[in-house]
A and B are shown apart, each in its own frame.
Chain A
């Protein structure tokens, strides 16, 4: 049983320059306690997809009629896209789902203390007294390894160090005991040593709290380290989905193959082959203002044919648990 299912999600934005299709017909599911990596470059629609789960896209976002996002709770199902009022949406905003952002400094209000923001959220979602909420908050800050938590509770974001802010943000996100934590590029702004600490912390807390994680990133190194399953997006479409192990060992979509080829590998470096260049994906991401005919990747794909340029490939299982949207991806026999 999935925790949350996304079915044929299509998100468009009305802008002055016309309607932009940011996400097109994307489906996936997150199981309870699972870590799912959502990978793609900027503009691939991964953030818009994730924000759809909390209805955080701006007001000019249009969700297609057939799109469904369903949250499966113990006692009920929530049809996220049909939620209307702010109160109704609390179930996915800070209730069952929490989100952490790339910039912890920017995601705390600058003139409100960390503690006030944590208490406010706890009182909203857990129906506890402010005093109790303060106790829980300080305890949570301690659990993420912030020393002198009671003092930090009364401080502002600008008074904390970068790593500490990141921890405080994780503490705040997990204090309401969400079932799903959406992490939007959580390590991108951090230096490598802090990155590792933050990832470890997220994993540790996930174990304790029992939350699933939707990890949005363009950093393949990060997903390789922590994700169990990976969804690769390109130009608003899902192009490949597989268990992390399978995806890295055997990428089947030419785009994924290109992405992995563009990552430097330790060992396979200069001494071995002389000065080999990292391979890159030629061309540019297509313009999303116009409807894309055929496969979105066709214009950059080394193996594209006329079929690719005319007919968009459907996402199909090419091996057990390995889904690819490509006309030319090899298919393995799948045991029934």
Chain B
């Protein structure tokens, strides 16, 4: 048990080290954007008609602490993020980033995790059964659907569904909340309204994720089914569902869990595009906006860091799950 705690702690430390490295990269990227936060804000002001001087810029730089060396600024950013959980102020919007993101981040994460969960809930049983199925019809239908999922871009699927829905029902299915709930506080009614809207982005993101996961599960299963221990179990008279689930399926599950973090990453990458098309202002679209339109490096950095942190955290969880599931790892850790 002591070893297990040690293992968990060492993984946690590694996760934090990864996050620090990520934060350095993210922070450097934020710095690489031409111009500083101060210059950009004042330039933005300028376009709004304010007269500004070099002195104004210098004063603003000082106010934001931009005159300090790079590493010091990174350290203070890290301190704010890791210790206080504060991402500071947005460059352009001049709003507290935590307030700005708040719900939006959790909603985005929720949609991605729901898509991931749906993908695996479908892919694991279907992949296991299809790998052991000898029916060419089942296999070809699954293969076709799976390739369709892999080959069709998400935005195209989203557009097709929107077009279909608009023509048929007069509802474009965009957004995440009905008007009356948009600014309301969270309640069960609002949550229900959210679910009534969120199924579509979850479905679209889950569609290709399922196709991917299905390929993974199937490949892993085919690999396991061919192994000698399965033949040996067959030679002992074990057959049917018991043979399938207790032997190859159980042993294929480890690598499947391992692929979770990777898949979440891909879903995150696809979220902004889907969010843009479905006009989900409450999620990934904000990232594109902050990067492309307004060059809001503070906000973009915060978003990228949060996404990365989610993936690092999921990988940490899957590592622990794997250690608990696989006796080869578990025995090494807990004796």
Q: Which residues of A contact B (CB under 8 A)?
A: 54, 56, 59, 85-87, 89-90, 93-95, 98-99, 101, 103, 106-113, 117, 120-121, 124-125, 156, 158-159, 172
Contact = CB atoms under 8 A, between A and B. Distances in A.
B239 interface: yes
A262 B250 CA distance: 46
Given A110-B229, A156-B328, A124 B251 contact: no
B232 A156 contact: no
B293 interface: no
5 pairs of A and B residues whose beta carbons are closest in the complex: A86-B239, A94-B237, A107-B232, A90-B237, A106-B228
A295 B247 CA distance: 43
Contacts of A87: 239
B231 interface: yes
B234 to A, nearest CB: 6
B94 interface: no
Given A111-B251, A111-B326, A125 B237 contact: yes
Contact of B331 (A59, A99, A159): A159
Contacts of A110: 229, 251, 327-328
A294 to B, nearest CB: 35
Contacts of A112: 246-247, 250
B232 to A, nearest CB: 4
A111 B228 contact: no
B284 to A, nearest CB: 38
Given A110-B328, A111-B251, A111-B328, A121 B228 contact: no
Contacts of B237: 86, 89-90, 93-95, 121, 124-125
Contacts of A113: 327
A50 to B, nearest CB: 11
Contacts of B325: 111
Nearest to A158: B328
Contacts of B326: 111
A189 to B, nearest CB: 12
B134 interface: yes
B233 to A, nearest CB: 7
Contacts of B254: 111
Contacts of A121: 236-238
Given A108-B232, A111-B251, A89 B331 contact: no
29 contacts: A54-B235, A86-B239, A86-B240, A89-B237, A90-B239, A94-B236, A98-B236, A99-B235, A106-B227, A106-B228, A106-B232, A107-B229, A108-B229, A108-B232, A109-B247, A110-B251, A110-B327, A111-B250, A111-B254, A111-B328, A112-B246, A112-B250, A121-B236, A121-B237, A121-B238, A125-B237, A156-B327, A156-B328, A158-B328
Given A101-B228, A106-B227, A106-B228, A111 B327 contact: yes
B250 A56 contact: no
Contact of A120 (B234, B238, B327, B331): B238
B240 to A, nearest CB: 5
Contacts, number: 81
B228 A98 contact: no
A20 B239 CA distance: 27
Given A54-B235, A94-B237, A107 B331 contact: no
Contacts of A93: 234-237, 239
A107 B228 contact: yes
B45 to A, nearest CB: 63
Contacts of A95: 237
Contacts of B239: 85-87, 89-90, 93
Contacts of B246: 109, 112
Contacts of B232: 99, 101, 106-108
B235 A109 contact: no
A113 B235 CA distance: 18
Contacts of A89: 237, 239
Interface in B114-161: 134
Residue of B227, B232, B234, B331 with highest tally of chain A CB at under 10 A: B232
A107 B228 CA distance: 5
A107 B233 CA distance: 8
A106 B229 contact: yes
B13 to A, nearest CB: 28
Interface in B209-243: 227-229, 231-240, 243
Nearest to A122: B236
Given A108-B232, A109-B233, A111-B325, 18 more contacts: A56-B231, A56-B235, A86-B237, A86-B239, A93-B235, A93-B236, A94-B235, A95-B237, A101-B228, A106-B229, A106-B232, A107-B232, A109-B246, A109-B250, A110-B328, A111-B250, A112-B247, A156-B327
A120 B233 CA distance: 10
A61 to B, nearest CB: 13
Contacts of B231: 56, 101, 107
Contacts of A101: 228, 231-232
A103 B232 CA distance: 10
A4 to B, nearest CB: 15
B328 A124 contact: no
Contacts of B236: 93-94, 98, 117, 120-121, 124, 172
Interface string B312-330: 0000000000000111100
A135 to B, nearest CB: 19
B34 to A, nearest CB: 54
Contacts of A99: 232, 235
B196 to A, nearest CB: 42
